[in-house]
Structure 1
Amino acid sequence: MSGLLALLDDVSAIAKATAASVDDVASMAAKAGSKTAGIIIDDAAVTPKYVEGLDASRELSIIWKITRASFFNKLVILLPSLLLLNVYAPWSVTYLLMLGGSYLCFEGAEKVFHALFPHGDKHVEKDMDIGDPLHLEEKRVQGAIKTDFILSAEIMTISFAAIPAASFWLETATLAVVGIAVTIAVYGSVALIVKMDDVGLWMAKNGRSSASQSFGRWLVLAMPKLMKALSIIGTAAMLWVGGSIIIHGLEVTHIWAWPYEAIKALALQLASGMESGTGFIKWLITATLDGVFGLIYGLILITIGTRIVAPIMSRIRLA
């Protein structure tokens, strides 16, 4: 009898430890995933463009192909790569993070520049030419998978950097949960966004009441505005996250600590005079200044890319 009680006690202890581990994974995954909000929003805003001009009946199939590739990118390629780097070259994670932050700043600044100074893009115009639908679909899927790999690398690296030091298996489980949850959130949202206008059109035509028909028409009219809002929010978030990564990386690597210290001191000084909401004010000031830094840094990268890197690459191709 005492042996049975001891066994039950051991089982209870294991169950409690397992529950605590699951709770730890969920908590760490939530905190780590929140750091990638900007990229997630931008990913959800960008992906629907890959099904523009294609047969509506193929939209969900295309999104599913991209989703499967996204799972593969995150769980099969990026997750083990990050874990190996953390074991054998932990110093490289910060620099990879800064490289990804540079990409975010570049992309965000490019969108701002394009909005302020609209200009045509022959590659985009060529891509929008329907031509052979099957060939275009394959080309779009390949382009979306490449873009997803870059964004997935950012998401996984930022999430990994945000995970507190823990056991190998806890870090692995947390990163896997983040990868799965983010992929479902992004492409589930994309599927809803892509089909929402079809749902609205069906409701406008087949609604049983005038209210449902009006709601359907509202959905059809609202979707372009929603996409524009998502694009603006995503761009702002990319600049904020990217700028924050670069500023923090410069401080951690002791390359240039002044931006981090100056922004922190200014946010603290401006928020100290507030009677309430000091935490939010500090965050808002810090996020705004991080975003401004990210925009300036991104514009510098655009200048370097167009004035220096592009001409050099052109000469190499011609040689």
Structure 2
Amino acid sequence: MGGLMGLLDDIAALAKLAAASIDDVGAAAGKATAKAAGVVVDDTAVTPQYLQSVAAKRELPIVKKIAIGSIRNKLLFILPAALILSQWLPAALPIILMIGGTYLAFEGAEKIWHKVSGHHDAEVPATEVSPEAEKMLIGGAIRTDLILSAEIMVIALAEVADEGFWSRLTILVVVAFVITIIVYGIVAAIVKMDDVGLRLAQRQSPAAQGVGRGLVAAMPRVLTVISVVGTVAMLWVGGHILLVNLGADGTGWIPAPYEWVHHLEEEILHGAGVFGGFLAWCFNTLCSAVVGLVVGAVVVAVMHLLPFGKKDDPRTHAHVERVPAAETPTGEDH
């Protein structure tokens, strides 16, 4: 009997230890997720751009495919690479991040280039894209997500660097799922908001009809704002990655410009009173966006203006290569 009671005591102690460990993992995952919130906002702003002019019935399936691709990015590529490099080759992380930051800056600058050069797509009614074009669209979104997800996971990894290997692994898996659910849940809500408005506008209640018509009228403007924010976010995050990692440990062959930016931030904080934090953030963001724009513009020039450069953005074809209206099945379009 005494042995049984001792066994039960041991089980209870183990259960308490497991519960404490779960609490610790949850707290650490929450802290790491909060630290990466800035990039989460950028990811949420960037993704809806890929769904403009897509037929309403294809929006949620495309969001689902991009979300699955995002989880795959985080768990199969970013997480193993980040853990391995942080454990055995930490000097390579800044270089890899800078390559990703350069790609993001290129994506943002290319969007601006398409606008100012007159090569951007004309507005077309939402309709059914071909399967090939849809694959290109999803692939482009997942490639952009790879860079943003890498930034999120590396920020989260830095927050739990003092944890043991298995704790870090568990926490980062939790962060990967939480971040993906938040980002693509919000994206799904944004792209379906006009459909909600249409349903409300068809109800009998005058109040519901007013709200519905307001949502339908507002969503094109909201998506336009999101498109602008998404482009700025690409430049901002790409430039910030470059600023922070240029001259970091392992890339000491060039001075670290972020030290200069951070020094000026501190001066703003001390001299601007209660608005110091906000002004310092604006200054940091502006510097990051300018760096992203300059680097992105250089890459765009190489990719578009030189004879061997890339001539077309594959997402352009994803928006204009469409099944003729007569061949599309009857469906709910915007």
Once the two structures are superposed, residues 87-113 of structure 1 have per-residue CA deviations (whole angstroms, 9 ceiling, x without a partner) of: 453322211110111111112222233
Once the two structures are superposed, residues 168-206 of structure 1 have per-residue CA deviations (whole angstroms, 9 ceiling, x without a partner) of: 2222223322322232233323322232222212222x2
- Partners of 2:13 and 2:174 lie apart in 1 by 30
In the alignment, residue 186 of structure 2 is paired with which amino acid? S
Q: How big is the shift at 1:158?
A: 1.1
- Which residue pairs with 1:109 in the alignment? 109
3-state SS, counterpart of residue 254 of structure 1: coil
- Which residue pairs with 1:99 in the alignment? 99
In the alignment, residue 119 of structure 1 is paired with which amino acid? G
In the alignment, residue 167 of structure 1 is paired with which amino acid? G
Q: How big is the shift at 1:213?
A: 0.7
- Which residue pairs with 1:208 in the alignment? 204
In the alignment, residue 155 of structure 1 is paired with which amino acid? L
Larger helix share, 1 or 2? 1
- Which residue pairs with 2:328 in the alignment? none
In the alignment, residue 49 of structure 2 is paired with which amino acid? V
Once the two structures are superposed, residues 143-172 of structure 1 have per-residue CA deviations (whole angstroms, 9 ceiling, x without a partner) of: 133223322321332123212313222222
- Which residue pairs with 1:72 in the alignment? 72
1:256-275, aligned counterparts within 5 Å? 256-257=254-255, 259-275=257-273
- Which residue pairs with 1:293 in the alignment? 291
Q: Cα 1:13–1:72, aligned 2, differ >3 Å: closer, same or farther?
A: closer
1:1-319, aligned counterparts within 5 Å? 3=6, 4-5=8-9, 7-43=11-47, 45-49=48-52, 52-54=53-55, 56-115=56-115, 117-120=116-119, 133=128, 136-162=129-155, 163-164=157-158, 165=161, 166-204=163-201, 206-252=202-248, 253-257=251-255, 259-308=257-306, 310-311=307-308
Number of residue-to-residue matches in the alignment: 301
**Structure 2 residues without counterparts, runs of 5 or longer:** 312-334
3-state SS, counterpart of residue 90 of structure 1: coil
| Percent of residue pairs bearing the same amino acid type | 31
The alignment's C-alpha RMSD in Å is: 2.9
In the alignment, residue 246 of structure 2 is paired with which amino acid? L
Q: TM-score, normalised by structure 2?
A: 0.78
Once the two structures are superposed, residues 111-165 of structure 1 have per-residue CA deviations (whole angstroms, 9 ceiling, x without a partner) of: 23334x14125xx67xx7999x5xx342233113322332232133212321231
Q: How big is the shift at 1:286?
A: 1.5
Greater Cα shift, 165-174 or 102-111: 165-174
